[in-house]
Structure 1
Amino acid sequence: MKVTVNPGKLKGILYAPPSKSVMQRYLAAGLLSEGTTIIRNAGDSDDETAAMQVIASLGAAVHTESKGIVHIRSGGQVSPSSGYIACGESGLAARLFTPLAALAAVPIDILGKGTLLSRPMETLIRSLQAVGVTVKSSGGRLPLTVTGPLAVRDIDIDGSISSQFLTGLLFAFAAAAEKPVTINAVNLQSRPYAELTLQVLKQFGWDVDMQDDTFTIMPVHRVAADRQVAVEGDWSAAAFWLVGGAIAGSVQVAGLELDSLQADRTVLDALKLAGIAVESNPDFLRSACGELQSFAFDASHCPDLFPILSILAAAAKGQSRIMGVSRLLHKESNRAKAIMEMLEQFGVTSFIAQDTLHIEGTGRLQKAEIDSFGDHRIAMAAAIGAVIASGPVVIHGAGSVAKSYPRFFHDLASMNIELQIHK
């Protein structure tokens, strides 16, 4: 799909879509909990849909009662109904649910498609092998075949690539632990996502403690129970609108929790560094155009902010620096390269030195044709950049937004921006 976005001033109010990070963790918890789990404000992105299909393949009964409400009925055990799980293009689904699949003593194929097939899984494979799981892989990438059962024991894992591997092991260990056990995540990155995992585990009755990079899982006798949870708004998605308001117009975003553990809540810190004070009240956040200044921001623990912060930097005159580029290598695209090519098409100079992306902000972008490289966050960042461009911006591969935010272009149009969608 190709979309042409015309420059303009953003104006209006919208609700942040549900957090797919929280949603997928709730799905995992529902699978491993005996009884019925009702998830409200559930999302319908491609990643969330894939995760629902995964837990159904692992033994849960899943159905959508109405838009935004999902029912999960589970016996609390992984009981595969087929010999595979299909994770779509979701890196979190693959890394979260593979350890859960390995709780079963039967071979299970872990399948993916698109860009997920090129994302490395060596850390996950080594971690599973260390706890007795047999793993067959395609050169350290999907598809995998895992044969359990996973043996819960003290383990050290590499946390430098992604915290998603840790999240999967925490859920598996919590479900199966019969005595206290520890996971030591060496050089843990994306720490807020690990904290989010602990929050969900505790919400569902498991006992997990975090001290520095060491996680202690205690055995817990859990009884059958019915639970209701609601998915909070997605700070990753909201970041696009908050930056959009800061560079062109005035935007109100509702449905966000200010005390959220989501890593991308730190977009507020980045905006403050850029000279924008986001107005906060009980009902919504308001971001409005102001005098932008160049900034320096460490995105090592929130790498998903890189694309939209690069647009913020381009809109601020002077050189801005965003640290943590090494975290971008294994995303839906080679994200550092994709960001730099997007900026180049917009007429903005950038370069990488010492794990830092340097951006020479111009205050205004030129009209352009942007290749999203199939990366949803590049497509959305390019669309926000288009509002301050000198003319229409054509975004190729814009359909990739369905991965995380299917309504993105609908919401953009509702914010006073003219656009054309070419199927």
Structure 2
Amino acid sequence: MDVTVRRAPKGLRGTITLPADKSISHRSVMLAALAQGKSRVKNFLRARDTLATVRCVRALGVNIMDNGEDLIIEGRGLGGFLQPEDILDCENSGTTMRLMSGTLSACSFFSVLTGDSSLRSRPMARVVEPLRLMGARIDGRDGGRLAPLAIRGGNLKGIDYTLPVPSAQVKSAVLLAGLGVEGETVVREKVPSRDHTERMLAGMGAEIFAENGVIRLQPGRELEPFDMSVPADISSAAFWIVAATLVPESEVLIPGVGVNPTRSGVLRVLASMGARIELQNQRVVGGEPVADIRVVSAGNLIGTTVAGEIVPSLIDEIPVLAVAMAMARGESVVRDASELRVKETDRILAVCTCLRRLGVEVEETEDGFYVRGQGRLTGAKVDSYGDHRIAMAMGIAGLVAEGETIVKGAEAVNISYPGFWAELARFAGR
């Protein structure tokens, strides 16, 4: 599907209600399934990725009821999953496959995880290796480096594991496996990654402690069910924050957004570029920091450098940050972001190719890119490469580009934000 976007005829004004946080939605279903009793999840994200998680969990014998508003999950407790009758299809969701690998490694039965062609090309060794160290028997293509993954779990032991690269998915997989092991599980991270799993486990009564980059989990304690409301997704908010920053005479309010410090690096970077962003009504909801975000158009932004420890806190927002960089004055640099190479597509290549199509001078590097900001974009035909974040970033670029911008493969937004194009049309006054 192609979508045509034209320059916004006037400032963006009003309130935007966002989809729920994708990372937290995934975890809410998986962890509720492991609890002893019935949990309720309000404001669950119903998108392609998260619904893949729901189907996989149901295939393990968990009763999940969707009344159109809430999900009610009847947890089976630790060790209560049933052997699935068929292969578990994670579709395009790396979170589903990697976190389910941890959960299934603690189960004393055989299971197989697969996904679409994109997911089957993404690296799985990073999660397979620590799970094997815990005692899981996991095989797959290329020695277990690629899906499908065949897992024979059970009889695991705790390990002391240092993450070689910052990865909340790997950390979470080890912790989920650690719920059903013998002995303590320790995960050490040199650079902080998103901590939704640790927060949720602590709220469910798990004996888990995190300090100075070291997470310790003691097994054996049954998890308590919960009643939670998932906050709005900071990754989805980033597109509208950039749009309101770039389109003149804009003023936008985005209520109820999760602003967990391990996820909100995009706010710090945009502020350093000159964006006018205000966090209002800050509070804690279900253990997660939440705020209403007010954005006012900022005029000329200045170039910036994104590198080092801040990268994991904004890795998913780099495609739309690149649009802001292209509209800024001066050079911007992204480094230490090689993880972008192994997302739904090679996002470094995709971002650079799309920006060049829009008339931007950009140089690709092994772990990032250089953008020479020029304050203008020229509409063109660009490809999403089947990646939801590339598609949405190019939609935002179209709001400030001269002429028409045509986004090919626009249906990719269904992975995380099914209503994005309708919201863009409404908000741009069309």
Task: Out of 144-153 and 398-407, give the one that drifted further.
Answer: 144-153
Q: Which amino acid aligns with 1:275?
A: G
Change in CA separation of 1:105 and 1:222 when aligned onto 2, cut-off 3 Å: closer
**More displaced 10-residue stretch of structure 1: 392-401 or 7-16:** 7-16
Instruction: Give 1:415's aligned residue.
Output: 427
Q: Would you say the 8 A contact 2:251–2:297 is kept in 1? A: no
1:371-410 equivalences under 5 Å are: 371-410=383-422
Contact 2:155 2:181 in 1 (8 A): no
Which residue pairs with 1:271 in the alignment?
270
CA offsets 1:170-189 (integer angstroms, 9 cap, x no match): 1221x21454332344x45x
Pairs within 5 Å for 1:160-179 = 160=165, 162-173=167-178, 175-179=179-183
Say if 1:274 and 1:292, in contact at 8 Å, map to a contact too: yes
Cα separation, 2, equivalents of 1:129 and 1:178: 15
Q: Is the contact made by 2:377 and 2:400 (CA closer than 8 Å) also made in structure 1?
A: yes
Q: Which moved more, 1:274-283 or 1:108-117?
A: 274-283
Pick closer, same or farther for the CA change 1:255–1:150 going to 2, 3 Å: farther
Aligned pair in 2 of structure 1 residues 335, 356: CA closer, same or farther (>3 Å)?
Answer: closer
Partner of 2:230: 231
- Among residues 181, 204, 210, which one is paired with 2:185 in the alignment? 181
Letter in 2 for 1:367: G
Q: In the alignment, which residue of structure 2 is the partner of 1:56?
A: 58
Task: Give the 3 Å change call, closer, same or farther, for CA 262–158 of structure 1 in structure 2.
Answer: closer
Q: Distance in 2 between matches of 1:157 and 1:95?
A: 17
Q: Equivalent residue of 1:117, what SS?
A: helix
- Tell me, in whole angstroms, the C-alpha distance in 1 between the residues paired with 2:53 and 2:338: 27
Q: Which amino acid aligns with 2:387?
A: D
Q: Which amino acid aligns with 1:112?
A: G
Question: Partner of 2:146: helix, strand, or coil?
Answer: coil
Q: CA contact under 8 A between 1:177 and 1:217: conserved in structure 2?
A: no
- Secondary structure, in 3 states, of the residue corresponding to 1:365? coil
**Cα RMSD (Å):** 1.9
1:340 paired with 2:339, answer no
Mapping 1:102-121, distance limit 5 Å: 102-121=105-124
Partner of 2:311: 300
* SS at structure 1 position matched to 2:67: strand
Higher relative contact order (CA 8 A, sep 6+): 1
Q: Which moved more, 1:207-216 or 1:369-378?
A: 207-216
TM-score by length of structure 1 reads 0.92
Percent identity between the two aligned chains = 26
The aligned residue for residue 123 of structure 1 is 126
What is the deviation of 1:379? 0.4
Which runs of no fewer than 5 residues in structure 2 stay unpaired? 282-290
Matches within 5 A, 1:3-402: 3-8=3-8, 9=10, 10-67=12-69, 69-76=70-77, 77-139=80-142, 140-160=145-165, 162-173=167-178, 175-185=179-189, 187-188=190-191, 191-193=192-194, 195-222=195-222, 226-249=225-248, 250-257=250-257, 259-263=259-263, 265-282=264-281, 284-290=292-298, 291-298=300-307, 299-301=310-312, 302-353=314-365, 355-402=367-414
* Partner Cα separation in structure 1 for residue 110 and residue 403 of structure 2: 54
Q: CA deviation at 1:55?
A: 1.0
User: Per-residue deviation at 1:354?
Assistant: 7.2
Further displaced range: 396-405 or 243-252: 243-252
Q: Could you report, residue by residue, the CA deviation over 1:256-307 in whole angstroms, capped at 9, with x for unpaired residues?
A: 34652451x2221111111112133327322122232222233521211110
* 1:356 Cα deviation from its structure 2 partner: 4.2
- How many residue pairs get aligned? The number is 410
Instruction: Report how far residue 144 of structure 1 moved.
Output: 1.0
Q: CA deviation at 1:227?
A: 2.2
Provide the C-alpha distance between the structure 2 equivalents of 1:59 and 1:262, rounded to a whole number of angstroms. Answer: 33
Cα distance, 1:251 vs. partner?
A: 4.2
Contact 2:231–2:258 (8 Å) recurs in 1:
no
Deviating above 6 A after TM superposition, structure 1's stretches of 4 or more consecutive aligned residues are: none
Secondary structure of 2:386's counterpart equals coil
Name stretches of at least 5 consecutive residues in structure 1 with no aligned partner.
Answer: 419-423
Instruction: Give the SS at the match of 2:222.
Output: coil
Give distance in 2, aligned partners of 1:226 and 1:327. Answer: 34
- Note the C-alpha offset of 1:78: 2.3
- Please give the per-residue CA displacement for 1:102-144, whole angstroms capped at 9, x wherever unaligned: 2222210111113111101112221222122111201121111
8 Å CA contact 1:192, 1:262 repeated in 2? yes
Query: Do the aligned partners of 2:22 and 2:233 also contact (CA within 8 Å) in 1?
Result: yes
Sort the Cα spacing of 1:342 and 1:164 in 2 relative to 1 into closer, same or farther, 3 A. same
1:54 and 1:372 map into 2 onto residues whose CA distance is: 27
CA contact (8 A) 1:12 1:416 kept: no
Q: Separation in 2 of the partners of 1:82 and 1:55? A: 12
TM-score (norm 2): 0.90
Q: Per the alignment, do residues 135 and 370 of structure 1 end up closer, same or farther by CA in structure 2, a change over 3 Å counting?
A: same
Residue identity opposite 1:92 in structure 2: T
